[in-house]
Amino acid sequence: MSDIQSRVAQYDELLRRFASGVRAAQLYAADHPLIGRNVEGLLAVLKQLHTLQASIAIGIVGSHFVVSDTPMSKASLGMSELIKRLRDNKIERISFERGIASEETAAFIHAVAMLGKNAAADAAWSFPHIRVGRIVTEDRPSDGISGDIAAIRQLYSKAVTNPLLRRMSESSPTSPTNGSTSRKRGSSAKRPRASEPSLTSITPTDST
């Protein structure tokens, strides 16, 4: 498996664990084992990703999740409810910082599951290793955060038109038909240039 394909598989697992954890928190008590398994699974993939970078950002562009500038088209198809929940509460960016632990992760998942039910509780979010960006682009100047959002959307648009990245983001990481192609061509995939803004570079307007 190529480095790019492996990274996409990790991003897919990150989103899957996050979405499953939130869904479980909506249905079951806080001490239900299903929630615990998803929290541990989320932490496991974050631990791997944090060996490469200190912060892992999940963003929402249109109706899709983007993880560290990588559009996750296929994974997003089954997560429309979570995407809507976040967008309805003006959350377009979540950044998981290195050093996050189980208790904080579980509390955050429960907080996302309860979004919209208690405005005071939503406003009082406080997570030392999780930064949440509530972005209102119409209130920002064109050269500020709204400019960054526009650039990220342009980056997303370019990425989904790249044949290799599109196949990787839209296919299962374990698909046997995708492996041989990715090994041969993975090294030639276009990577975002250093000058292009990334999700990790955006300063949230309302983070804790």
pLDDT at 107 over 50: yes
Cβ atoms 92, 199 nearer than 8 A? no
Reduce the DSSP state of residue 198 to 3 states and report it. Answer: coil
Residue 152's nearest CA partner among 92, 208, 205 is 92
Tell me which of 19 and 145 has the higher pLDDT: 19
What value does the mean pLDDT of the chain take? 76
* pLDDT digits 0-9 by tens, 42-71: 999 999 999 999 999 999 998 899 999 899
Cα separation, 69 vs 58, whole angstroms? 9
State mean pLDDT over 133-157.
52
Check the CA dihedral 102-128-201-193 and report its sign.
Answer: negative
Of the listed ranges 26-35, 115-124, 135-144, the one predicted with least confidence: 135-144
Half-sphere exposure of 197 (CA within 13 A, CB side): 17
Report, in angstroms and rounded to the nearest whole number, the Rg of the chain calculated over CA atoms.
17
Residue 198's nearest CA partner among 74, 93, 127 is 93
> Which strands sit side by side in the sheet containing 55-61, from one edge to the other?
70-72, 64-67, 55-61, 91-97, 130-134
Reduce the DSSP state of residue 94 to 3 states and report it. Answer: strand
pLDDT at 166 over 70: no
pTM for the structure as a whole: 0.67
Contacts of residue 122, Cβ cutoff 8 Å, sequence gap at least 6: 89, 111, 115, 116
Read off the tokens for 141: 């100047």
In the chain, pLDDT over 70 holds for what percent of residues?
A: 63
| Look-up of token digits 């959350």 | 91
pLDDT at 130 over 60: yes
In the chain, pLDDT over 90 holds for what percent of residues?
A: 49
Cβ atoms 11, 72 nearer than 8 A? yes
Could you tell me how far CA 87 lies from the centroid of its own chain? 13
